[in-house]
Amino acid sequence: DGAYQVGFRAHQLEVAAPCNGRHAFVTTVSVTEITGSESFVHLKREGYNWVAVLSGIHEFLPGQELEAVLDPNDLFIFDQSGRLVAAPAAR
């Protein structure tokens, strides 16, 4: 019971259509950084800043809306004191 914080690793956030139990969130692009063979896509969602690390070169425009997709099995859950209460299973 109570409030929890949810976290995820940047490489687990995808820009794709939801499928197989994954959840999609509408986000807005702040900026895209292309670093060699990866793109760091900075996103905003309800006042929170998210970063997706995508393989390949992706050029999204600031202000563009994207569906960001997460698998609930990849989430870290923290309680109000910051203690880890749930984490992804080792793969």
Q: What is the pTM of this model?
A: 0.84
Name the superfamily (CATH) of residues 9-72.
Nucleic acid-binding proteins (2.40.50.140)
What's residue 2's pLDDT?
Answer: 84
Q: What is the rounded CA–CA span in Å between residue 33 and residue 63?
A: 15
Domain edges within the chain: 9-72
Closest Cα partner for 3 from 77, 90, 91, 87? Answer: 77
Q: How confident is the model at residue 90 (pLDDT cuts 50, 70, 90)?
A: confident
| pLDDT value for 7 | 95
Contacts of 48 (CB under 8 A, 6+ apart): none
**Nearest Cα to 11, choosing from 65, 44, 67, 51?**
51
- Which pairing describes strands 5-7 and 76-78: parallel, antiparallel, or unpaired? antiparallel
